[in-house]
Amino acid sequence: MPSPLGLETALLLTELLFRVRRKIIGPPPTPLDDIYFCNTLIPSAFVTVQPQHVSCVYKGSRLCEGTAAFSRPGDFLQSNTVCRHKPRVTMYITELQVSLNKAEEAELREHHFKKLSIDLNKGAGGKEIHLWYKEENCSPITRIQFSFNTEMSEGLNSAGYRKVDKNLNAGTGGDEIYLWYYKGSSVYDIPIVKVDVSTDDEAQKFKFGWERMTCDLNRNTGGHWIYLWLQREKQVYVCDITATDSSAGDQEYFENGYIRVDENTNRGAGEASIFIWYRLTTDPKGGLTDLQISTNDKEYENLQNGNYQPVNQDLNEGTQGNDVFLWYNKADCNSPIKTITVIFNKELVEPFQQAGVHVFDKSLNSGNGSGCWPATQMFLCFYK
C-alpha cells in the first residue's frame, strides 16, 4: 500500500479530480464525510468542502460504489485512487481460538479476537470455555472439523488442518474434543463468514443459510447439547457423499475437499467406527437432490429400482443390527440439498421438521442394542 499522501498533494489531487468530474460527469453528489486514497483514509478535516465531491475510481479487483471519475484506461493504473465510499470488503473468519480462563480471555481480546458468549461446557460442570474468532478480509477459513479420539486426529493433522489445542470438555468426564480448521482454495472450499454456538438447537437458523456441525461439544458429559453453526460467503449445495469404516483414508478425503460428519454412526454399538463424508459446491446444478436410507432388503430393492445410487458402506457394519445403507439421487430439479447433519435427541425432530428440515425416522443405529442397553439413536437430516 502506498504511504499516505502529504496534505498539500492530497488537496491538489482532490481539487483536480473535482474539476475533471465537473467537466465530464456533471454536478457533484451530496457531500461526504471522508475520501479514500488507495484505501488510505484522508479525514475530511484535511480537505475543503468542494473537493469532497469526488466520484469513485475502480482499481484492480477492488470495487468502490459510485461512478468512475476517469474515462481513460490509463487512469486506472495511477498510484493513488480516490473513492467516494470505502470499498466493499467481505470479512471472513480467519482464526479460531478457545479460552479456558480469564487470563486467556484477556490475551485473546488484546489480539483482536471476538468472543461467543455461550459457555461450551454449559451444564457439564467443567471449566467455563468460550470460542473466539478473528475477522479479516483475506485468508479465510473454509472448513471446520472436530476430533474426539486419536484416530480422528491423524488424518486432520496429515492433511494440514490447524488444531486449536484446547480440550472443549476440559474439567468434565466427557470425551476430549478438539477443534480443527483449514484454509483451502479448491472448488470445494467456500469461505466461512460467520460462526455461532447454540445450546437449544435453533433449527430456524437453517432458513438463513446456517450449517450445523454434527459434533456435540458436550459429548458424553450429560450437559447441554451444544453445537457450532457457520455461514459461508456463498450459498452451497451438497454435491458428493460417501462413508468410511476406518480412518486409514481420512487424509485423502480431506485433501480432496470432503467434510467429515463428525459422529460415528455406530455410536454405542461398538465395533467399527463409521463416518459419513460430503463435499460442497456453489453450483446448484451439481447438487444432490434427495437422500434415502434402507434398513432391510425390501427397502434396498425399492431404492435400487428407483434411480437411486447407494453409498457402498453399511452404516451398521460390525454390529448385530440391520444393514443400513445411505442412498442419493442427482435428478434434474431446482431444489438441491444445501446441508446435512445428524441429531440424537428425539425431542428435536419436531422443531427441525417445522423449520423445513427433512428428518429420517429410521435411526442410523437400527437394530442395535437391547432393551437394557439401547444403542444411541441418531437421525440423519438434510435441508434444501
Q: Find out if CATH 2.100.10.50 is the number for domain 90-234.
A: yes
CA dist 338 and 282 (Å) reads 10
Please write the tens of the pLDDT for every residue from 276-332. Answer: 999 999 999 999 999 999 999 999 999 999 989 999 999 988 887 789 999 999 987
Whether 64 shows a pLDDT value over 60: the answer reads: no
CA dist 281 and 241 (Å) reads 12
- Reduced to 3 states, what is the DSSP secondary structure of residue 326? strand
pLDDT at 309: 97
Q: CATH 2.100.10.50 residue ranges in the chain?
A: 90-234, 235-384
Non-local (6+) Cβ contacts of 12 within 8 A are none
- Reduced to 3 states, what is the DSSP secondary structure of residue 290? strand
Residue 252: other Cβ atoms inside 10 A: 12
pLDDT at 222: 80
- For every residue of 25-72, DSSP letters joined together read T-S--S--SEEEETTEEEEGGGS-TGGG---B--BTTB--SS-BS--S
Average per-residue pLDDT for the chain? 81
Total length of the chain: 384
What mean pLDDT do residues 36-60 have?
A: 36
**Per DSSP, what are the bridge partners of residue 342?**
380
Contact 149, 175 (CB under 8 A): yes
What mean pLDDT do residues 50-78 have?
A: 37
**What does pTM read for this prediction?**
0.78
Whether 82 shows a pLDDT value over 80: the answer reads: no
Q: What is the DSSP letter of 43?
A: E
Strand order in the sheet with 379-383: 339-343, 379-383, 358-359
- Among the residue ranges 107-121, 163-177, 261-275, 343-357, the one predicted with the least confidence is 261-275
Non-local (6+) Cβ contacts of 180 within 8 A are 144, 145, 146, 147, 153, 156, 161, 162, 163, 164
Closest CA to 218 of 108, 144, 353, 118: 118
pLDDT at 69: 38
Contact 213, 342 (CB under 8 A): no
CA dist 247 and 128 (Å) reads 32
**Per DSSP, what are the bridge partners of residue 95?**
134
Whether 7 shows a pLDDT value over 60: the answer reads: no
Q: What's the gap between Cα 130 and its chain centre?
A: 18
Whether the CA torsion 199, 203, 206, 211 is positive or negative: it is positive
Please write the tens of the pLDDT for every residue from 219-255. Answer: 988 888 899 999 999 999 999 999 999 999 999 999 9
Where do runs of H (alpha helix) occur along 283-348? Answer: 297-304
pLDDT at 370: 54
pLDDT-based confidence at residue 37 (cuts at 50, 70, 90): very low
Q: 110 vs 8, which has greater pLDDT?
A: 110
**Total H helices, total E strands in the chain:** 6, 21
pLDDT-based confidence at residue 129 (cuts at 50, 70, 90): very high
Contact 362, 382 (CB under 8 A): no
Q: Domain 235-384: which topology?
A: Vitelline Membrane Outer Layer Protein I, subunit A (2.100.10)
Contact 263, 378 (CB under 8 A): yes
CA dist 78 and 72 (Å) reads 11
Non-local (6+) Cβ contacts of 3 within 8 A are none
Q: In the numeric block, which cell numbers belong to residue 207? A: 432458513
pLDDT at 371: 56
The C-alpha angle with vertex 137 and arms to 2 and 209, in degrees rounded to 5, equals 160
Q: In the numeric block, which cell numbers belong to residue 367? A: 437394530
pLDDT-based confidence at residue 21 (cuts at 50, 70, 90): low
Please write the tens of the pLDDT for every residue from 168-225. Answer: 998 888 899 999 999 999 999 999 999 999 987 789 999 999 999 999 999 988 888 8
pLDDT at 132: 98
